[in-house]
Amino acid sequence: MLMIYSNTVRLPGRNGVAEALQWGKVHKVFLVADYGREEKLAEIYQKAKADGITVELVNKKLLDKMVYDNQGVVAEVNLPGENGLEELLKRKRDAVVVMINHIDYEQNLGAVIRTSWATGVDAVVVAPSGVTAVTPVVAKISMGGAVFVPVYFQSLFMSLKMLHKYAIKVVGVEVGKGKSVFEAKLNGGIALLFGNEAKGLSEPLMAECDEMVHIPMASKIASVNLSVAAGVVLFERVRQAGVKGV
């Protein structure tokens, strides 16, 4: 089974780095040499030093070569998921998994990861085409979510076989298919399968689903952005589960 996995990423941006530091996910920080001029950057420096994390002061030009649009800070962070999807399913029989059949835009993947983290998703599986890595852009948009939610870039068909093996219900989300997501039962171990951003789910993928649902629209618009669709479905699952939050 083709699987693309990397265990580290350079995370840019003040808020994402600050969040990753708070949860102990950072092993090195690169800061602009004049960080003291910015209160947020000074706080990051102090937190990293207090936690014994290596901080390297560099000039802005070098930082921009590492990751563009970095807000003066880049952190090297470890990504979760090195043991693979099957190990997760063995350990957690009520796992919640998000699956995406091809994704073209890093920003959309980052937003899906952020929402997945917020809604208690255990893993995200992405077909190995289009975006095939947790890039610095993905990590930044995820606002730290990428260091908590494992993301696997691998064959969806092989992943679906694995999910069926461990009795995880597979629910496909597609325009005009099945019942409204607000009428479906999204409890227990579940995999939510979202389609290609341009073409939706293919017939072979839909054939692998235990159930199909759609998001009802209040106007004639055919569909919504992938990250918006994922947000609607994932928060409906949270609502049904009665999660009170923190």
The verdict on residue 235 lying in a domain is: yes
Cα 179 from chain centre: 26
Q: What per-residue confidence (pLDDT) applies to 193?
A: 98
Domain of 31 in residue numbering reads as: 8-78
State whether 235 and 124 are in the same domain: yes
State whether 134 and 217 are in the same domain: yes
The predicted-structure confidence for 165-186, as pLDDT tens digits, reads as follows: 999 999 999 998 999 999 999 9
* CA dist., res. 5 & res. 131, Å (int): 12
State whether 96 and 113 are in the same domain: yes
Q: Hey, which residues does 11 pair with through a beta bridge? A: 75
The predicted-structure confidence for 117-149, as pLDDT tens digits, reads as follows: 999 999 999 999 889 889 999 999 998 899 899
Domain boundary among the residues 50, 78, 106 is at: 78
Contact 12, 136 (CB under 8 A): yes
Domain boundary among the residues 20, 44, 78 is at: 78
The verdict on residue 39 lying in a domain is: yes
* CA dist., res. 155 & res. 190, Å (int): 18
**pLDDT over 70 at 3, yes or no:** no
Is beta strand 179-180 parallel, antiparallel or unpaired with respect to 123-126? Answer: unpaired
State whether 204 and 135 are in the same domain: yes
pTM score of the predicted model: 0.87
